Amino acid sequence: MWIDTHCHLDAPEFDPDRDAVVARAAAAGVGLLVLPAVRAGDADALAGLAQRHGAAYALGIHPLCVRDADDADLDRLDAALARHRDDPRLVAVGEIGLDHFVPGHPRERQEAFYAAQLALARRHGLPVLLHVRRSADTLLKHLRRTPVGGIAHAFNGSLQQARAFVELGLRLGFGGTLSFDRALQIRRLAAALPDHALVLETDAPDIPPRWRYQTAAERAAGADPHDARNEPAELPRIGAELAALRGSSPAAIAALTTANACAALPRLAGLRPGLASAAAAGGRVGTADPGPAPTGP
């Protein structure tokens, strides 16, 4: 079984055929999706979507949504985490973090919201799903002050930064980008990092793998943009790319990354038969100290 640890199933790109998207993922062997929020107001709708499709979810405020959020949104998020605290499908605080690539998003405000949401994760006893875009060192600074576990989503930093996240107890998310030959740094990381560091994701509908990617020329020629949309059903093929980079088999990578996902997001283990044993296996993957566990409320 595969776990897609980061999929925006609530995105409007999926409005025409969301049920079919989930069905295709299940047929491909993707047994569980993790759906991150991007705004404080997403909570109840996302919880309902996860319930309908047998998925897991996270609640948080995305760094690219911070500019348009008001300070009271942190209180709304805190209240939503408390309201849904007994829902076993709530597995993390996310998507939170920092984006130092997209212009026009104040870094100071992003950092304040990130620090506050790390504190909420500690308070509610949950791991985090981190957005990391040219911001790894600042993210790490705050994680050292407020240690929590979780996943650094779509990781694209240096090997030194990768090791720092892993030493703090986080796993690193890899997706469609590693399928591109020119993505040299990400491919090197995917091949070199220890077994216990890796989880898989699609970030669907974003970050399509190379076989769904459209060039500007193809788009100008009238290519159907729907064909470029990423889907969770692509995860096994992405996993096969990871297996090839690591000299492993897709089956072994599926087992490994499922175990790691359960170790990173412990509530996943209760959502599917057999995942409890995968979570136990995850605790035995690799030799590094998994780092500090999230504290309870």
Query: Does 44 appear as a known binding residue?
Result: no
256 vs 196: CA distance, rounded Å: 8
**Nearest Cα to Cα of residue 18 among 49, 63, 64:** 49
Q: What is the dihedral of CA 105, 69, 155, 244, to 10 degrees?
A: -120
Q: How far is CA 148 from the centre of its chain?
A: 15
Element (H, E) at 96: strand 90-99
**Both tokens assigned to 253:** 């990578």
Query: Does 105 appear as a known binding residue?
Result: no
Query: Does 153 appear as a known binding residue?
Result: yes
DSSP 8-state secondary structure symbol assigned to residue 53: H
Query: Does 226 appear as a known binding residue?
Result: no
**Nearest Cα to Cα of residue 54 among 86, 78, 32, 83:** 32
Cβ atoms of 9 and 49 within 8 Å: the answer is yes
Query: Does 142 appear as a known binding residue?
Result: no
Residue/partner pairs of 72-76 with CB below 8 Å, 24 or more apart: 73/39, 73/40, 73/41, 74/40, 74/113, 74/116, 74/117, 74/120, 76/40, 76/41
Query: Does 131 appear as a known binding residue?
Result: yes
Binding residues: 6, 8, 95, 131, 153, 203
Binding residues for a divalent metal cation: 6, 8, 95, 131, 153, 203
